[in-house]
């Protein structure tokens, strides 16, 4: 981890505290790097201009993120050096923006197991009229969904395109004449600005409000 305005002990403590908080919000974290934007004087006053974060192989609420690169807006903090384990605490919600990447294999695994299997089944029902979801595959810029069909050995397969639309992700059938489409249910605190499939991965760009 590094600090953009010096490497004083208070900023180092702040970085360590933020790392602990971030890790506590995640199921697991592979690699995590933080860069603080501000000074010790600002921190004493309970403010920080922002934080930049780069992380790899993160599981957040059961969702596997291969890569994340995020930048926060200004943060307001409570600083109490008499409590080493809680020396720095977030005082209020703050904004973040950036990019995250999910691999097709990891997304497939997530949508076939809890806590996200409901979303996989919802997609299969909305887009294919079948449930449960049997599998998901990303082939270049194409999303393929599979679902079992009663009385048939081979699963039904359909291909789709996706893009960002109205703050969420719109998935549409590859065949322009087909009417199947669905917009993902989205947390009101998250806004998707860009969504694309590339190289077997789902790339998302957006912004969100984070509550301590």
79 assigned to some structural domain: yes
In the chain, the number of structural domains is 2
Residue 38's contacts (CB-CB under 8 Å, 6 or more residues apart) are 4, 5, 11, 47, 48, 49, 50
Check whether residue 61 and residue 148 sit in a common domain.
no
- Long-range contacts: 115-120, Cβ < 8 Å, 24+? 115/61, 115/62, 116/62, 116/63, 119/184, 119/185
pTM of this prediction exceeds 0.85:
yes
163 assigned to some structural domain: yes
Give the confidence band of 39 by pLDDT, cuts at 50, 70, 90.
confident
Among 123, 38, 100, smallest CA distance to 75 is for 38
Among 36-45, 107-116, 126-135, 192-201, name the one with the lowest average pLDDT: 36-45
Last residue of a domain, one of 92, 121, 145: 92
99 assigned to some structural domain: no
The pLDDT assigned to 18 comes to: 80
The pLDDT assigned to 8 comes to: 67
Distances (CA, A) of 89 to 22, 26, 72, 206: 12, 17, 16, 25
Check whether residue 123 and residue 200 sit in a common domain.
yes
Contact 51, 37 (CB under 8 A): yes
Check whether residue 49 and residue 127 sit in a common domain.
no
85 assigned to some structural domain: yes
97 assigned to some structural domain: no
If DSSP codes are grouped into helix, strand and coil, which group holds residue 3? strand
Last residue of a domain, one of 35, 66, 92: 92
Mean pLDDT of the chain: 89
Check whether residue 19 and residue 59 sit in a common domain.
yes
Rounded to whole angstroms, the Cα distance separating 38 from 3 reads: 8
Per-residue pLDDT reduced to its tens digit, 72-90? 999 888 776 666 556 567 7
Measured in residues, the chain has a length of: 212
Q: Which domain holds residue 8?
A: 2-92
Give the confidence band of 4 by pLDDT, cuts at 50, 70, 90.
very low
């Amino acid at each position: 981890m590094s600090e953009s305005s010096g490497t004083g002990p208070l900023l180092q403590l702040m970085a360590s505290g933020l790392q602990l908080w971030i890790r506590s919000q995640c199921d697991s974290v592979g690699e995590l790097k933080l860069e603080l934007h501000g000074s010790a004087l600002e921190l004493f006053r309970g403010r920080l201009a922002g934080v930049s974060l780069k992380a790899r192989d993160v599981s957040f609420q059961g969702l596997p993120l291969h890569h994340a690169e995020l930048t926060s807006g200004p943060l307001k903090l409570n600083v109490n050096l008499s409590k080493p384990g809680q020396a720095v605490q977030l005082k209020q919600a703050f904004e973040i923006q950036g990019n995250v990447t999910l691999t097709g294999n990891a997304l497939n695994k997530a949508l076939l197991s809890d806590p996200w299997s409901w979303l996989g089944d919802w997609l299969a029902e909305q887009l294919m009229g079948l449930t449960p979801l049997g599998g998901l595959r990303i082939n270049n810029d194409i999303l393929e969904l599979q679902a079992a069909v009663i009385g048939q050995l081979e699963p039904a397969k359909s291909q789709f395109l996706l893009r960002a639309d109205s703050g969420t992700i719109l998935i549409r059938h590859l065949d322009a004449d087909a009417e199947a489409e669905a917009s993902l249910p989205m947390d009101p605190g998250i806004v998707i600005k860009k969504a694309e499939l590339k190289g077997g991965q789902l790339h998302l760009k957006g912004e969100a409000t984070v509550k301590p």
